[in-house]
C-alpha cells in the first residue's frame, strides 16, 4: 500500500494544479473539522460526477506543491473519521488515510469515497462542489445529475431499523385510517377489521411492517423525529404585521397528518366582503379558501427536500397575505407548464411519501391541485398565486383580498381568455417577467404591447377593463413626442443639460420602466437627434445645431 501511495503522490504532484478531486492542504498540526467536512462533500460529489471511485485531500503539502509535512496524529485522524460519519448524508467517512514519508516529512493522503449513485453527499445539510480549485455550493444541475443516476432511490422510503410501531402516534394512526376509509368506502368494513400493522402496510406507509421515514413524518410521535436526523420534521407558522415585523409564531412537528390541521387553525382567515356585479348585497368569503391552505401545505410536505435539513414555513401577514415555502427546486419546468398539462407530474422527489399522502387523502393524483388553487383565486377576483422557484426553494404567495375589483372582474369576464392567458396577464399587471413564447402568444391575441422586459396591457384590453388611463400612463409618450419636447425646450431656452430634459420627461415616460430605463430613454432620444444633425452637444450642454438655428 505504501508503495502505491508514493506512486500516487508522485503522480498528483506532477499535475499543473489542484483539480475537482484533489485538494492540497498545509495543515501542519491540525485542520478545521467543519472546513474538512465541506471539502469531503465537494470531493465526494465531484468524484461521482467524473465517474471516479474517490477524491483526495492531502495534508502536509502547500498549494504550490511544496512538501512541508504534517503532525496530525492518530487521535486526530479518528476524530476526523467520526466527524465525517456523524454529519454527512448519506453517512460516509474516509475509505482510508495513508501516511507517506517524503524526505523525513509525513504526508497524509485521505481517500474520500465518491457519492453513491443517486445520492449527492451533504455536510451539515448542505451539498458542496468544486469549480476547478474553488469550493462552493453544488449547483442544482450537478445535484440533479447525481440524483438522476439512480431513479429508484427515494429518501422517504428508507427503512428505519431502530424504529417500531411504538414510535408512531395512535391518534395519528386512527385519524389516518379514517382518511383511508374516505378513499376506499367500498371496503370500509374490511378496513375497520385490520390491525394497525395491516392498515399501515395496506396504506403503503410501512414496508412489510417495517417503519419508514414516511411513517415517522406523517404518523410519528413528536419525540420520534430523531429517527430522521439530520432532516427536520418541522412546520413553522409565523404571524407578521403590515410592516413585516414578527408578532407571533408556533412550531409543529410529527405527526404531520395532524399538524396540517393545527397549522390551519392558527391562520386567522378573516372574512372578506365585497359586492358582486348585479347585486345589492355584499358577498362574504374566507380570505383563504380552506382547500388552498390544505393543498399548499400538503404540497410543501410532499415535495420538501428533506436532505437539506430545512423546515417548512407558513408566514401569515396581517395585510391579507399567506406565504408557503419549502426547500428543494421545483421539478416541473414552470408553474405555467403544470397548469397547461393539467395532469400528474411524471416525477416526484419523494414518491413513497407522495403515494402514502394520496392514500391518506392528503393530496390527489389527478395533477389538478395547483390549477384548482388558481381557479379558486380567479373566481373570487383575488390576485392569482405567485410562485417563486428560485434559489433552490419553492415559495407560494396567496393574497386574500381584491387589489382592483373593476379590473379583475372585467378582465376575467373576457370570454376568450383561458386560465393560462389570465395567469400571464396577471404577471404583466404585476410587472413580473414572462418568457418570449408567452409574450408572442399574448401579442398575437392583442393583449399586451411594449418591448421586453417592459410589457403592458394593450389598448384593446384597456378599453374592455376601463383601464384606458392606466394604458396611456403605462405606454407613455412615444419617441417622436419625446423628441418634440426636447426641441421645443431648446428653441425656447437655447441650451440645456441632460438633467433638464430628465426633469421634463421622466414622469411622462411609461410607468413600466424603472428610473434607470427612463433615463436611458431620454439619453437615446438625445443621441438620435444628434445623429440626425438636429442638435449638438458642447461639453455637457445640448443646443440646436447651427443648421437649425
Q: Could you tell me which residue, 106 or 459, shows the higher pLDDT?
A: 106
Report whether 109 contacts 97 (CB < 8 A): yes
The position carrying cell 477524491 is 55
3 state DSSP class of 328: coil
pLDDT at residue 426 in the model: 73
pLDDT at residue 472 in the model: 41
pLDDT at residue 467 in the model: 45
Q: Ramachandran region of residue 514, left (φ > 0), alpha (ψ -120 to 50) or beta?
A: beta
- Average of per-residue pLDDT across 288-292: 92
Burial of 138 (0-12, 13-18, 19+ CB in 10 A): buried
pLDDT at residue 406 in the model: 55
Report whether 36 contacts 45 (CB < 8 A): no
pLDDT tens string 308-364: 888 999 999 998 899 999 998 787 767 777 777 665 565 678 999 999 999 999 987
Tell me the pLDDT band of 192, cut-offs 50, 70 and 90.
very high
**DSSP 8-state symbol, 224:** G
- Judge if the upstream peptide bond of residue 230 is cis by omega within 30 degrees of 0: yes
Mean pLDDT of the chain: 84
pLDDT at residue 102 in the model: 87
Residue spans of the domains in the chain: they are 2-150, 157-228, 235-464, 479-548
- Average of per-residue pLDDT across 455-481: 53
- For the chain, give the percent of residues with pLDDT over 70: 84
Range with lowest mean pLDDT among 8-22, 93-107, 393-407, 463-477: 463-477
Tell me the pLDDT band of 234, cut-offs 50, 70 and 90.
very high
What fold, for 479-548?
Arc Repressor Mutant, subunit A (1.10.10)
CATH 3.30.565.60 correct for 235-464: yes
- Average of per-residue pLDDT across 424-441: 76
State the Cα–Cα distance between residues 424 and 305, nearest whole angstrom: 29
* Of residues 497, 522, 492, the one with CA closest to residue 507: 522
State the Cα–Cα distance between residues 540 and 499, nearest whole angstrom: 10
pLDDT at residue 409 in the model: 56
Tell me the pLDDT band of 471, cut-offs 50, 70 and 90.
very low
Tell me the pLDDT band of 470, cut-offs 50, 70 and 90.
very low
Taking 50 as the threshold, does the pLDDT of residue 175 lie above it?
yes
- Angle among Cα 454, 457, 458 to the nearest 5 degrees reads 110
Count Cβ atoms below 10 Å from residue 519 Cβ, excluding itself: 18
Top CATH class, 2-150: alpha beta
Q: Could you tell me which residue, 202 or 446, shows the higher pLDDT?
A: 202
The position carrying cell 398539462 is 341
Taking 90 as the threshold, does the pLDDT of residue 274 lie above it?
no
- Judge if the upstream peptide bond of residue 400 is cis by omega within 30 degrees of 0: no
Residues 6+ apart with CB under 8 A from 387: 330, 335, 394, 395, 396
pLDDT at residue 1 in the model: 41
- Angle among Cα 253, 258, 262 to the nearest 5 degrees reads 80
Residues 6+ apart with CB under 8 A from 144: 329
Residue 7 C-alpha from the chain's centroid = 46
pLDDT at residue 166 in the model: 97
- Average of per-residue pLDDT across 250-277: 87
- Average of per-residue pLDDT across 416-423: 74
pLDDT at residue 3 in the model: 56
State the Cα–Cα distance between residues 432 and 42, nearest whole angstrom: 36
State the Cα–Cα distance between residues 50 and 47, nearest whole angstrom: 5
Amino acid at each position: 500500500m505504501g508503495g502505491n501511495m508514493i506512486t500516487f503522490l508522485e503522480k498528483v504532484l506532477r499535475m499543473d494544479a489542484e483539480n475537482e478531486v484533489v485538494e492540497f492542504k498545509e495543515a501542519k498540526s491540525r485542520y478545521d473539522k467543519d472546513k474538512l467536512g465541506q471539502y469531503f462533500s465537494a470531493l465526494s460529489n465531484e468524484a461521482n460526477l467524473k465517474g471516479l471511485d474517490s477524491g483526495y485531500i492531502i495534508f502536509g503539502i502547500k498549494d504550490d506543491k511544496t512538501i512541508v509535512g504534517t503532525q496530525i496524529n492518530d487521535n486526530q485522524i479518528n476524530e476526523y473519521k467520526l466527524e465525517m460519519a456523524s454529519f454527512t448524508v448519506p453517512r460516509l467517512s474516509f475509505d482510508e488515510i495513508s501516511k507517506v514519508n517524503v524526505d523525513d516529512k509525513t504526508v497524509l493522503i485521505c481517500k474520500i469515497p465518491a457519492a453513491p449513485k443517486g445520492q449527492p453527499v451533504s455536510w451539515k445539510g448542505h451539498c458542496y462542489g468544486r469549480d476547478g480549485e474553488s469550493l462552493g455550493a453544488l449547483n442544482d444541475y450537478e445535484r440533479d445529475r447525481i440524483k438522476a443516476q439512480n431513479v429508484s432511490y427515494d429518501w422517504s422510503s428508507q427503512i428505519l431499523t431502530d424504529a417500531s410501531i411504538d414510535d408512531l402516534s395512535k391518534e395519528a394512526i386512527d385519524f389516518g385510517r379514517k382518511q383511508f376509509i374516505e378513499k376506499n368506502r367500498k371496503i370500509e368494513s374490511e378496513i375497520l377489521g385490520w390491525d394497525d400493522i395491516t392498515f399501515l402496510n395496506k396504506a403503503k406507509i410501512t414496508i412489510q411492517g417495517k417503519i419508514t421515514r414516511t411513517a415517522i413524518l406523517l404518523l410519528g410521535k413528536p419525540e420520534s423525529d430523531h429517527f430522521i436526523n439530520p432532516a427536520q420534521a418541522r412546520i413553522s407558522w409565523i404571524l407578521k404585521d403590515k410592516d413585516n415585523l414578527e408578532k407571533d409564531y408556533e412550531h409543529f412537528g410529527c405527526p404531520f397528518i395532524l399538524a396540517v390541521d393545527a397549522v390551519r387553525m392558527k391562520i386567522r382567515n378573516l372574512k372578506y366582503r365585497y359586492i358582486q356585479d348585479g347585486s345589492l348585497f355584499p358577498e362574504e368569503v374566507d380570505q383563504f379558501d380552506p382547500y388552498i391552505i390544505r393543498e399548499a401545505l400538503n404540497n410543501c410536505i410532499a415535495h420538501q427536500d428533506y436532505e437539506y435539513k430545512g423546515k417548512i414555513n407558513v408566514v401569515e401577514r396581517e395585510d391579507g397575505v399567506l406565504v408557503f415555502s419549502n426547500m428543494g427546486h421545483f421539478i416541473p419546468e414552470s408553474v405555467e407548464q403544470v397548469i397547461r398539462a393539467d395532469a400528474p407530474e411524471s416525477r416526484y422527489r419523494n414518491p413513497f411519501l407522495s403515494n402514502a399522502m394520496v392514500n391518506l387523502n392528503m393530496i390527489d393524483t389527478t395533477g389538478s391541485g395547483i390549477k384548482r388553487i388558481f381557479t379558486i383565486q380567479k373566481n373570487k377576483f383575488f390576485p392569482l398565486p405567485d410562485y417563486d422557484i428560485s434559489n433552490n426553494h419553492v415559495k407560494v404567495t396567496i393574497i386574500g383580498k381584491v387589489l382592483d375589483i373593476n379590473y379583475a372582474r372585467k378582465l376575467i369576464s373576457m370570454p376568450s381568455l383561458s386560465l393560462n392567458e389570465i395567469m400571464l396577464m396577471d404577471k404583466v399587471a404585476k410587472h413580473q417577467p414572462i418568457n418570449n413564447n408567452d409574450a408572442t402568444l399574448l401579442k398575437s391575441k392583442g393583449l399586451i404591447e411594449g418591448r421586453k422586459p417592459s410589457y403592458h396591457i394593450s389598448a384593446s384590453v384597456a378599453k374592455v377593463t376601463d383601464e384606458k388611463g392606466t394604458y396611456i400612463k403605462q405606454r407613455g409618450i412615444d419617441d417622436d413626442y419625446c423628441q418634440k419636447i426636447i426641441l421645443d425646450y431648446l428653441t425656447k431656452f437655447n441650451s440645456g443639460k441632460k438633467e433638464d430634459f430628465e426633469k421634463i420627461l421622466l414622469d411622462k415616460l411609461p410607468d413600466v420602466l424603472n428610473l434607470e430605463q427612463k433615463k436611458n430613454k431620454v439619453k437615446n432620444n438625445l443621441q438620435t437627434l444628434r445623429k440626425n444633425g438636429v442638435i449638438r452637444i458642447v461639453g455637457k450642454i445640448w443646443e440646436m445645431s447651427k443648421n437649425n438655428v
